[in-house]
Amino acid sequence: MHVLVLGVLSVISSFTLGIRTAGDVETVSRSEAGGINITGDMNGDSVVDVRDAIALLEVAQGYEEASAEQLLSDPNGDGALTVEDAIRILHDIASRL
């Protein structure tokens, strides 16, 4: 459990320290994104895990462009992939342990 918490903190802090401006972000509704995805499943492997939080952070910080499937998997459903969404995924993972 401690290793998971330390790993999560390391991922979050590395993205926080390496913040890049992603520019203007346009939100997209779930109906515009299309398809059926599991909420929080950013990499499309049908499992929500730490890899999904990392993929979401890469999009949120502007390192990657969000796909329609990723926007559809938005954890809070607001159409914007943010650091808060990644924290939500990590919180959900931790609550299952």
What pLDDT is stored for residue 41 in this prediction? 93
Q: What angle do CA 60, 84, 7 make, to 5 degrees?
A: 85
Average pLDDT over residues 16-22: 55
When pLDDT is cut at 50, 70 and 90, the band that residue 5 belongs to is confident
In this predicted model, what pLDDT tens digit does every residue of 55-77 receive, in sequence order? 999 999 999 999 988 998 999 98
The CATH code belonging to domain 2-21+29-96 is 1.10.1330
C-alpha angle 55-85-11 in degrees, rounded to nearest 5:
50
Whether 97 has a pLDDT exceeding 90, the answer reads no
pLDDT for residue 79 is more than 80: yes
